[in-house]
Amino acid sequence: DDDDDADGADGADADAAQNTMKHNHTEQQSKQLFKTILKSVVKIYCTYTEPHFALPWQMKRQDSSTSSGFIVQPKRIMGNAHGIAFHSVVRVRRHGCSKKFIARVLHVGHECDLCLLTVDDPEFWTDYLNPLPLGEVPQLQDAINVVGYPTGGDNVSVSQGIVSRVGVGKYSHTDQPLLAVQIDAAINAGNSGGPAVKSNKVVGVAFETLD
């Protein structure tokens, strides 16, 4: 009986050790995937000149802004349309790189507040930037991470929140009512265009709403 008890204890210890190894392996995989996500999020710098609607024969003074974006396809960057509106020059910077690269605007969807950019300089793509996989619309109470570059800093930030609402909301860029997911975490200015991530898949894009 004593031998049986000893064998049972050894078996339980072995199972616990195996479960710990599996947990550590899964945690390492998760961290590695999240590093890949951080690597594929970029900061967008836009120099723009808005039209002067009160004085239509002249333009307003040139200004600049920053927003966020992420790699969605080989050599394609997704961001917010309002982040590059009335642009004259758009530049992007990779995570961990100080150099800003000239970007070219390929497509703009003002209604859905999205845009697609590319960078023609092959040096930008040498750091093996992975396109981020797209996931399904999240459900209520799902945990979401929003990744981006808040205004006033050059470091990437991660805000975690819980989905509190999924429904139709008005987008501030064009006042269009479209599908929106609301989370209980504050999203800072400059994070617009950054990916909302669940289980290492992009399930949304950070933006502003009127509601």
User: What amino acid positions are annotated as catalytic residues?
Assistant: 82, 113, 192
Cβ atoms 67, 179 nearer than 8 A:
no
For the chain, list the strands marked E by DSSP.
Answer: 41-48, 63-73, 76-79, 87-93, 101-109, 114-118, 143-148, 157-171, 176-183, 195-198, 201-205
Angstrom distance (rounded) from CA 179 to CA 171: 9
Residue 68, number of CB atoms within 10 A of its CB: 28
Angstrom distance (rounded) from CA 162 to CA 107: 31
Two structure tokens written together for 1:
């009986």
